[in-house]
Every structure is written in structure tokens, then in C-alpha cells.
């Protein structure tokens, strides 16, 4: 259907995301003409089993052609098909990110496992996928991919002053939005980059105990921060780079492994401090000060981490639910938002990935 005065039809698009936290697959239906948010549909979550998560963890850091990818791809396809079926609602288009196994922007390569053609056949529906490759071929970082959607959300919630969206997944990434601009590709409208480690190292530390995460940061809250360790991590070269810039899930794995030598609560507190401080220092790169950070991703449920970000940044930090959005599915929804409309894939621009010009990434597989 077409909305009044719109050049593009409003479609029901099923977006999918399996993040580097490896908890499962988020699925969400977004009503959009590819430029604006017209409404939100059903959502679903399909958790990975313990065995499935082990298969995916074993594949982290691998590249196309490496051994062991078949089993990981089977897990990815099975879980994504199940998540789409769980939506139990019609959709016109599927946005499929796949599972990031490795990301090396300095060498211009990235690896998201998953074949969009498999989903296109399973649902007899077009699938937009492989969002990062085109961006990296044109000199971009290939990440982050959600900023154009964040711009649309800022307009949707009626924001008038500059604000930031912060996703706390395996890695933290921030988007500065100036909603006074007319278009997301307009100069000054956006700036986006990965801030630093977020949930991944804390979850990895908790995995040694047989638990998936530190609920609400309760253990971290009882620990002491090793400031020397935090200073060591924050002294890494990545934090000195001017954005746009992006990270792999395990960029700091060697340094962060030192947290394993600490008592568990101290290690968690110290890792949370790294995450919070990287966000606070990241704010210094924004074109204008922001008074509010809206947080999505699993990290928003970590009360200790949220409090540390607020304390170190001096900015209001709130979950996106406070403005009527769903932080569990925000990262699944961006795939149909594009400067050229639905079916073009996640867009990027010089201020979001460092790519040479604003483009729509992705390829389309049809049934």
C-alpha cells in the first residue's frame, strides 16, 4: 500500500539480528517506506541452546573457507527460520544480518555467516542480506549499521535536541543524532562508531561459572574496580582513533583476559568500568553535547553498568523503553531503512562507517 504523498510503499519488513553476545535471534516486524517508521509489528526471540551456543563460539574468529563453518551455518539458518515462524504474522520482505564471526576493518574484511537464499526459499519471500560487504569495498568500516534507523526513530519520537542512541551488545556502539536535520545523510545529522567492549567480555567471564550473564550487574556491584587494569585497556590505540571506527568482538581479548585472574566480582566490576569509561570518552567525539543517551541491547538491563555510564558521562542515561521503544528488538529492525527505500539494505555514510559516499548496502535473494 502507499501512504498519502509517499513515493515508496509501506511494507511490513521482518528484521533479524543475532548479535555477538550469542544469546539468540531477535525478530521484529517494522512498518516502513524505507525512510520513515510507520509502525511496529510483532516481535519474537529464539534463544540458542547451550549446544548451539558452543558451536557458534567455536566458530568465532573464523573466515570463509575455514573448517567448522557448516555446523555453525546450520545453527544460524535453523534458529533464524524458527524466529521468523514465531512471529506468526505476514511480512513482505526479510532483512537478514547473519552472524558476525570476524570483523577486521583495518584489512577491509568482515565475515557474517548465513545465506539469504536459504530464507528466501523457506518463506517464498525476498531477503535483503550481506549488508557490510559493499560498504567495505568502498572503504568503509562496515559498521555500525543502525544509524539511519536511529535517525528515523529520533524523528518518530519527536526529538528536537541532539541525542545519542547507545547499543550495549557484545560491543558498544553509539549514534549521535541531530533531529533538526532533514535527512540522515545531511552533514551534521549523524555520527556513529563503536565505543569499546560491552557485554561480551563480562558474559565470557560469567560463562566460566556456568551462567550466561551477571543479572542486573549484581555481582559487579559487589566487586572492586582495578583502576590500573582499566587504564591499561583504555590506553590501547583504538581509543585514540578519530571516528568513524569499529571493533571486532574479540579485539581486546588478550588484554581483557587479565580480568580472568581477578576475583570474579572484581573482574566484572573492572570490565564494566572499561565499558562505561569507553562510552564517556566516546562522547567527547560528538559534534554537539547531548543531554540524553537512550540505551538498547542487553546491557541496558545491567543496572550497575548503566549507573557507571551515567556517573562517568554526566549525562542522563535511560533505556529506550522510556520513550516507548523496545530495546530488545531495536537492533533487529534497521535493515529496511535506507536512503533509497525498502529493499536496498542497511545504508551507510561517511559519518557512520567512513565510507566514501552514502550508499545502500546488501544484496537481494528472491524465492
- Identify whether residues 274 and 240 lie together within a single domain: yes
Q: SS3 for the chain, per residue? A: CECCCCCCECEEEEEEEECCCCCEEEEEEEEECCCCEEEEEEEEEEECCHHHHHHHHHHCCCCCCCCCHHHHHHHHHHHHHHHHHHHCCCCCEEEEEEEEEEEEHHHCEEEEECCHHHHHHHHCCCEEECCCHHHHHCCCCCCCCCHHHHHHHHHHCCCCCCEEEEEECCEEEEEEECCCCCCCCCCCCEEEEEEEECHHHHHHHHHCCCCCCCHHHHHHHHCCCCHHHHHHHHCCHHHHCCCCCCCCCCCCHHHHHHHHHCCHHHHHHHHHHHHHHHHHHHHHHCCCCCCEEEEECHHHHCHHHHHHHHHHHCCEEEEHHHHCCCCCCCCCCCCCCCCCCCCCCCEECCCCCCCCCCEECCEEECC
pLDDT of 343 > 70? The answer is no
Average pLDDT over residues 73-99: 94
Q: Is 201 domain-assigned?
A: yes
User: Do 46 and 61 fall into the same domain?
Assistant: yes
Tens of pLDDT, residue by residue over 236-272, are: 989 989 998 888 777 888 777 889 999 999 999 999 9
175 close to 165: Cβ distance less than 8 angstroms? yes
Q: Are 36 and 155 in contact (CB under 8 A)?
A: yes
Q: How far apart are the C-alpha atoms of 328 and 93, rounded to whole Å? A: 21
Range 25-40 average pLDDT: 88
CA–chain centroid gap for 296, Å, is 9
In a domain, 95, yes or no: yes
Q: What angle do CA 326, 183, 99 make, to 5 degrees?
A: 45
The answer on 312 and 166 residing in a single domain is: yes
Residue 1 resides in a domain: no
Q: Is the peptide bond before 227 cis (omega within 30 degrees of 0)?
A: no
For range 73-81, the mean pLDDT? 97
More confident residue, 1 or 101: 101
Q: What pTM was estimated for this model as a whole?
A: 0.86
The stretch 2-31 carries a mean pLDDT of: 80
Lowest-confidence range among 138-147, 254-263, 283-292?
138-147
**Assigned domain for 6 exists:** no
Q: Please indicate, yes or no, whether residues 187 and 296 belong to a single structural domain of this protein.
A: yes
Angle in degrees, CA 322, 326, 331, rounded to 5: 125
Q: What is the pLDDT averaged over residues 184-192?
A: 90
Same domain, 207 and 268: yes
Our CA angle for 60, 83, 103, nearest 5°, is 25
**Sign, CA torsion 151/80/194/219:** positive
The more confident residue out of 256 and 202 is 202
Q: Could you tell me the maximum CA-CA distance found in the chain, to the nearest angstrom?
A: 61
Is pLDDT of 198 > 70? yes
User: Is residue 212 domain-resident?
Assistant: yes
CATH number at residue 254: 3.30.420.40
- pLDDT confidence of 347, banded at 50, 70, 90? low
Q: Which three cell numbers stand for residue 75?
A: 545453527
Model confidence at 1: pLDDT above 50? no
Structural domain boundaries enclosing 265? 150-323
Whether residues 236 and 339 share a domain: the answer is no
Q: Is the pLDDT of residue 54 over 70?
A: yes
Residues 98 and 234 in one domain: no
Report whether pLDDT(7) > 80: no
pLDDT score recorded for residue 334: 66
Q: Are residues 223 and 290 in the same domain?
A: yes
The answer to whether position 4 is within a domain reads no
Pick the range with the lowest mean pLDDT from 15-24, 181-190, 228-237: 15-24
Q: Is residue 3 part of a domain?
A: no
Q: Would you state the pLDDT for residue 339?
A: 40
CA 106/CA 115 separation, integer angstroms:
25
Domain count, the chain: 2
Average the pLDDT over 188-200 and give the result: 92
Q: Do residues 135 and 280 both lie within one domain?
A: no
Amino acid at each position: 500500500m502507499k501512504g498519502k504523498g509517499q513515493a515508496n510503499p509501506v511494507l511490513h519488513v521482518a528484521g533479524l539480528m543475532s548479535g555477538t553476545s550469542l544469546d539468540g535471534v531477535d525478530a521484529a516486524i517494522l512498518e516502513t517506506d524505507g525512510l520513515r517508521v510507520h509502525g511496529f509489528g510483532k516481535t519474537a526471540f529464539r534463544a540458542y541452546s547451550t549446544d548451539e551456543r558452543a558451536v557458534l563460539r567455536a566458530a568465532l574468529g573464523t573466515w570463509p573457507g575455514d573448517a567448522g563453518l557448516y555446523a555453525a551455518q546450520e545453527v544460524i539458518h535453523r534458529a533464524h527460520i524458527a524466529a521468523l515462524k514465531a512471529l506468526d504474522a505476514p511480512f513482505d520482505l526479510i532483512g537478514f544480518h547473519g552472524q558476525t564471526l570476524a570483523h577486521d576493518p583495518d584489512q577491509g574484511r568482515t565475515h557474517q555467516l548465513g545465506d539469504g537464499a536459504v530464507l528466501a526459499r523457506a518463506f517464498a519471500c525476498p531477503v535483503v542480506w550481506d549488508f557490510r560487504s559493499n560498504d567495505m569495498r568502498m572503504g568503509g568500516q562496515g559498521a555500525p549499521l543502525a544509524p539511519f534507523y536511529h535517525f528515523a526513530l529520533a524523528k518518530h519520537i519527536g526529538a528536537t535536541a541532539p541525542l545519542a542512541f547507545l547499543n550495549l551488545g557484545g560491543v558498544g556502539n553509539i549514534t549521535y543524532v541531530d533531529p533538526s536535520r532533514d535527512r540522515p545523510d545531511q552533514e551534521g545529522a549523524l555520527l556513529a562508531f563503536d565505543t569499546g567492549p560491552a557485554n561480551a567480555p563480562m558474559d565470557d567471564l560469567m560463562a566460566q561459572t556456568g551462567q550466561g550473564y551477571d543479572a542486573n550487574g549484581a555481582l559487579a556491584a559487589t566487586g572492586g574496580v582495578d583502576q590500573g587494569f582499566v587504564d591499561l585497556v583504555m590506553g590501547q590505540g583504538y581509543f585514540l582513533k578519530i571516528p568513524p571506527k569499529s571493533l571486532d568482538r574479540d579485539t581486546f581479548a588478550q588484554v581483557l583476559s587479565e580480568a580472568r585472574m581477578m576475583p570474579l566480582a572484581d573482574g566484572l566490576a573492572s570490565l564494566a568500568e572499561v565499558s562505561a569509561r569507553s562510552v564517556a570518552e566516546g562522547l567527547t567525539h560528538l559534534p554537539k553535547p547531548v543531554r540524553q543517551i537512550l540505551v538498547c541491547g542487553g546491557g541496558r538491563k545491567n543496572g550497575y553498568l548503566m549507573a557507571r555510564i551515567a556517573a562517568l558521562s554526566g549525562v542522563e542515561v535511560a533505556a529506550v523503553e522510556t520513550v516507548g521503544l523496545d530495546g530488545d528488538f531495536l537492533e533487529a529492525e534497521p535493515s529496511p531503512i535506507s536512503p533509497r527505500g525498502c529493499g536496498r539494505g542497511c545504508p551507510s555514510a561517511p559519518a557512520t562507517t567512513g565510507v566514501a559516499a552514502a550508499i545502500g548496502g546488501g544484496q537481494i535473494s528472491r524465492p
